[in-house]
Amino acid sequence: MVDRDPDKTRQALLFAAFTEINQNGFQAASLNNILKETAVTKGALYHHFPSKLELGYAVVDELIWGNVKESWVTPLIDVDNIIDALLSMIDRSIEYRNEDNICFGCPLNNLAQEMSPIDEGFRERINHIFDQWRAAITDGLIEGQANSIVKKTISAEASAYFIVAAIEGATSLAKNAKSVDVLRTSLQGLKEHIQTLRK
């Protein structure tokens, strides 16, 4: 980094930190590795972020939240049929995976598992993202009930919890098994469940 473009430097650090964290976890993520990857010096890093912890927080607030929003929240906003939207969202998440990236799992869940018992700052930030995600599903289901697309007998909130849980669980299993097939098979049950919510 010689170009003296602070915004670019910051973004480069964030992205490298995201990758390093996603591969090794936050605690084992090495600042030196991040610096090596970006060719940024330690002084520059500590100019942009006061500590490793704050760098991690920024990764969650900016990069991870951006990813979740794009993949799991925006696709559910203002859709005609929430059931179809959920199903195609799940299909896209399967199509996105291949044998090379399946092993990294869900960045949000990875960090959640590692850091939520240790650091309250991480936990709150991650929990907020889960809340937004789940709220998007809940709202969609409620609207679907109003539009006679979704059964009125089900609890939208409970269904949203279950859907998020099943997606995260399936991603976890597939990560551990290093298998897209495991992801597909695990999510098949979820898709069938979602079909039963249809009016």
Partner DNA sequence: CTATACATACATACTGGTCGGTATGTTTAT
Partner DNA sequence: ATAAACATACCGACCAGTATGTATGTATAG
Q: What's the CA gap between 13 and 5, in Å, rounded?
A: 12
Please identify, among the stretches 32-40, 50-58, 64-72, 183-191, the one whose residues bind its own copies according to the rule CB under 8 A.
Answer: 183-191
Is the Cβ of residue 52 or residue 184 nearer to DNA in the bound state?
52
185 binds its own copies (CB under 8 A): yes
Q: Does 64 bind its own copies (CB under 8 A)?
A: no
Q: Which stretch binds DNA (CB under 7 A): 2-10, 79-87, 143-151, 170-178?
A: 2-10
* Closer of 66 and 189 to its own copies (Cβ): 189
Give whichever of 40 and 89 is closer to its own copies, judged by the CB atom. Answer: 89
- Residue 184: Cβ-neighbour burial (10 angstroms; 0-12, 13-18, 19+): middle
Touching DNA, residues 8-37 (CB under 7 A): 9, 29-33
Which amino acid is present at 84?
D
Count residues contacting DNA (CB under 7 A)?
Answer: 23
DSSP 58-74: HIIIIIIHHHHIIIIIG
Find where tokens 């919510």 sit: 197
Spell out where 4-147 has E strands: none
Q: Identify the DSSP state of 41.
A: -
3-state secondary structure of 119: coil
186 binds its own copies (CB under 8 A): yes
The end-to-end CA distance of the chain, in Å, is 57
Residue 168 binds which of its own copies, DNA, none (CB < 5-8 A, kind-dependent):
its own copies
Binding site for DNA (CB under 7 A): 1-6, 9, 29-33, 40-44, 46-48, 51-53
